[in-house]
Amino acid sequence: MTKPPKGPPLSDAELQANAERIVAHMLTRDGFSKWLGVSVSNVKPAEATCTLTVRPEMLNGFGVCHGGVTFALADSAFAFASNTQGNVAMSIDNQISYPAPAREGDVLTATAREESGTDRLAFYRVDVKTQAGTLVAIFKGTVYKTRTPHLPEGT
């Protein structure tokens, strides 16, 4: 059984500030997202939006963005969104579909949102679109919510 939170419920402003602090903290340790060129453009509790620009070294043998790059962008948005609520959330399952290709120079935007959840599991959808609005990937993921806080109390 989950213990009730200590003290009064947090306001929307406090929840937003916590989400922003957690993602900023995660970014300081996320070498892969930095290396990939991912930037976080929006964060809310249970939501995150990330972008990257498709570079020549991200293309596969067919001259389109490698699916692993698109997956990595979606997975980063998923990780940031699912960890905005205070405790560490760990991915336990995910899958992706690619309805259209991305090309060199495209600016990809991955928007992750929680679709449903319980105190221990949450289910997310991430849509990845080009700057023109073309849907290039649909990612679905499940996280396990631990009881381990991201930040020490009082930070």
Q: pLDDT confidence of 1, banded at 50, 70, 90?
A: very low
Residues with Cβ within 8 Å of 148's Cβ and at least 6 positions away in sequence, in order, are: 87, 88
Element (H, E) at 25: helix 12-29
What pLDDT score does 4 carry? 41
Residues with Cβ within 8 Å of 94's Cβ and at least 6 positions away in sequence, in order, are: 75, 78, 139, 140, 141, 142
Token pair belonging to 56:
């020549």
What pLDDT score does 37 carry? 96
Domain 12-149, CATH among 3.10.129.10, 3.20.20.70, 3.40.50.2300, 3.30.9.10? 3.10.129.10
Q: Which of 7-21, 58-72, 75-89 shows the lowest mean pLDDT across its residues?
A: 7-21
CB-CB contact of 115 with 124 (8 Å): yes
**pLDDT digits 0-9 by tens, 93-110:** 999 999 999 999 999 999
Percent of the chain with pLDDT over 70: 93
Residues with Cβ within 8 Å of 50's Cβ and at least 6 positions away in sequence, in order, are: 33, 38, 39, 40, 41, 73, 76, 77, 80, 109, 110, 112
Answer whether residue 8 shows pLDDT above 60.
yes
Answer whether residue 48 shows pLDDT above 60.
yes
What pLDDT score does 153 carry? 66
